[in-house]
Structure 1
Amino acid sequence: MAREHGRDRDDRDSEFTDKLVHINRVAKVVKGGRRFGFAALVVVGDQKGRVGFGHGKAREVPEAIRKATDAAKRGLIRVPLREGRTLHHDVAGRHGAGKVYLRAAPAGTGIIAGGPMRAVFETLGMQDVVAKSIGSSNPYNMVRATFDALKHQDSPRSVAARRNIKVSSLQSRRREGADDQAASE
C-alpha cells in the first residue's frame, strides 16, 4: 500500500516542469579556511496555468535545488490565461525595488521577457506576453514582483462572479463603454 502511494506522488511530480533561475554561493570564513553554502531559486509549473517558486539553502548544490523545488511545489498559484496562451489584461507588480509590467500580446508574439521572468512564463505555459522589468535586477525580487503581478490577474469569469452577473453581459457592457468613448471623441 505504501508503495502505491509513493508511485502516485512520483506521477504527480512528473507533471511539473522546473527551471533553475539562480544559484548563489556564499562563503563562511572559519579557522581552517572557507565553508561554502549554496542558495537556489527554482520556478515550478505544470504549463497549464499553475506556477510556484521556491528558495532552498544547503551545503551542496543538488540538495539546495531539491529543497527549492519542494518549496515551489508547496506554494503553487493558479493564473487565469486567455485562450490558454496570454494574459487577460495588462498588469503591474512590485516587490521591494523590483517592478515589472506584464502586457497581453497577440498570437505569435512569443515570450518577450528577461531571464527570471521568462522562466516563470515558460513553466506557467504562457506563449505570448511582453514584459518589462524596471528597477532591481535581483532575480529574487524580479520573480516575486512577477508573482505579485500574476496574483492580480483576473479572468472575465471571476469578475462576473464577483459582480453577480453573466460573462456575456460583462462583455456587452465593455463594448457599450467603448462605443460611448468613441462617440464622445
Structure 2
Amino acid sequence: MATLSSLYSPAFSLPLSKPPSTKFSSSSSTFLFSLTPKSPLLSLSSHPIKPTTTTALKAQSGSGGDFDSPPERDPVPEPTRVYYPLDDYDEVVTVPKDFITGFEESEEQTAMAYEERYGPAYSGETYFGNDVLVMDPPDDGRRGWALLKRERVKIKDDLEETVVETRMVSKVTKGGRSMSYRIVMVVGNRQGLVGVGVGNARDVPTAIDKACVDARRHLISVPITKHLTIPHRAEGKFGGAKVMLRPASPGFGLHAGSLVRNVLELAGFRNGAGKQLGSRNLLNNCRATIVALEQMRSYQQVAEDRGIPIEELWK
C-alpha cells in the first residue's frame, strides 16, 4: 500500500479506491470513529506538487491530516503608491485666507447686510415719539444669536391706548387645535389722530403689543370744529356693520355706543351722536366708525372744492 508521501511522486499510479480510515490523530489524543472514504489528491500535471501548507506538512509526517480544510495562503502584499509632486505649482488650488478666517467688515456693513435680509433695524429716527419696532444696538455685550433677538420697548408718544376686545380664537391644523388671543385696540391723541389695530398671539401681553403697533400703522387724521364736534353727517360701512355719525351743539356730549364712543373720544370729539346698525361685531363696528371718519372734510376743504371763500359757506 502506498504511503501518503508517495502520493506526490510523478511516477505514482493512482488507485481507484482507498480503504477507509478508522483513526483520527491529533497532537494530544487519538479518537476512534468512522470516516467516509476519501479519494486521494489527483495530479493532472507532470510536475510534482510542493507541499507548502500545514496540511501537506502533516501528510509528510504521517499524522493523517484532514484534506477537507482549505489550504492556507500567504497574504498578498498591498501595492505601494508613490506620489510625485507637481512640476507646475500653478495647478495647485489655493484656498483664500478670507474663506477660512472670515471677511472683515465694519459695523455699518453688518447693519446694511442685516437690513437687506431681515428688514429695517434700529435707525435712531422716531415716528410719533419713538420707533414702532426697535432692536438693541450690537455693542451691548451680546454675542451670537442674541444679536438677532428683537426686544419690544414701551412706545413713548402722546397717543392713548384703549383695549375694546379680548377674545380667544382657535385654528384647526393637522396637529390639532391651536389656541391664541385676539386683541382689538384703539389709539388716539385727542387732537385729530385715531387708529384701530388688531393683534394675535399665544399670550395676551404679546397680542397687546402687536395691536399697539398695528393701530399706529393705521392712524388717520380727522377734522375737528371749534366746538369739538363732527363737521357734518357721515355714514360708514364695513362688512355687516353700519355706523351713522351726526354733529351736535356744545354741551350735548357724546351719545353713542361704547365702541363708537371710544373711537370718537380718542379722536378728540366731545359733542356728537352715533348709531350702530346691522352686525354687532366689535371689530367691524370699530372699522365702520373709522370709515365714517375718513369721509369727514374740514370747512377749508369744502370751500376749496366749491371755489368760494370760507366766509361764504354760511351765507
With normalisation by structure 2, the TM-score equals: 0.50
The 1:60–1:159 alpha-carbon spacing in structure 2 relative to 1, beyond 3 Å, is same
Match of 1:9 in 2: 130
1:72 equivalent among 179, 204, 215: 215
Contact residue 88 and residue 154 of structure 1 kept, 8 A: yes
2:275 equivalent among 123, 132, 142: 132
The 1:128–1:30 alpha-carbon spacing in structure 2 relative to 1, beyond 3 Å, is same
String of CA shifts for 1:5-38, please: whole Å, max 9, x gaps.
57x5289833000110111102356899864201
String of CA shifts for 1:55-113, please: whole Å, max 9, x gaps.
11111111111111111111111110111511011111111111111111111121111
SS at match of 2:199: strand
Greater helix share, 1 or 2? 1
Contact residue 48 and residue 84 of structure 1 kept, 8 A: no
Matches within 5 A, 1:12-161: 13-28=156-171, 35-83=178-226, 85-161=228-304
- Residues of 2 paired with 1:147 and 1:98: CA distance? 12
Offset of residue 135 of structure 1: 0.6
Q: Which moved more, 1:163-172 or 1:59-68?
A: 163-172
- Residues of 1 paired with 2:170 and 2:313: CA distance? 56
SS at match of 2:130: helix
Q: CA RMSD in A?
A: 2.6
Runs of 5+ unmatched residues, structure 2? 1-121, 132-153
Q: Does 1:169 align with 2:312?
A: yes
Match of 1:181 in 2: none
The 1:9–1:95 alpha-carbon spacing in structure 2 relative to 1, beyond 3 Å, is same
SS at match of 1:52: strand
The 1:32–1:116 alpha-carbon spacing in structure 2 relative to 1, beyond 3 Å, is same
Contact residue 107 and residue 128 of structure 1 kept, 8 A: yes
- Residues of 2 paired with 1:167 and 1:135: CA distance? 37
Contact residue 160 and residue 166 of structure 1 kept, 8 A: yes
Bigger RCO of structures 1 and 2 (CA < 8 A, at least 6 apart): 1
Q: Which moved more, 1:111-120 or 1:130-139?
A: 111-120
Q: Which amino acid aligns with 1:70?
A: V
Runs of 5+ unmatched residues, structure 1? 173-185
String of CA shifts for 1:107-130, please: whole Å, max 9, x gaps.
112111112111101111110111
SS at match of 1:143: helix
Q: Which moved more, 1:108-117 or 1:20-29?
A: 20-29
Q: Which amino acid aligns with 2:130?
A: R
Q: Which moved more, 1:22-31 or 1:113-122?
A: 22-31
Contact residue 224 and residue 268 of structure 2 kept, 8 A: no
Q: Which amino acid aligns with 1:154?
A: R
- Residues of 1 paired with 2:183 and 2:155: CA distance? 23
Greater strand share, 1 or 2? 1
Q: Which amino acid aligns with 1:97?
A: G
Contact residue 193 and residue 219 of structure 2 kept, 8 A: yes
Q: Which amino acid aligns with 1:111?
A: L
Q: Which has the larger radius of gyration?
A: 2
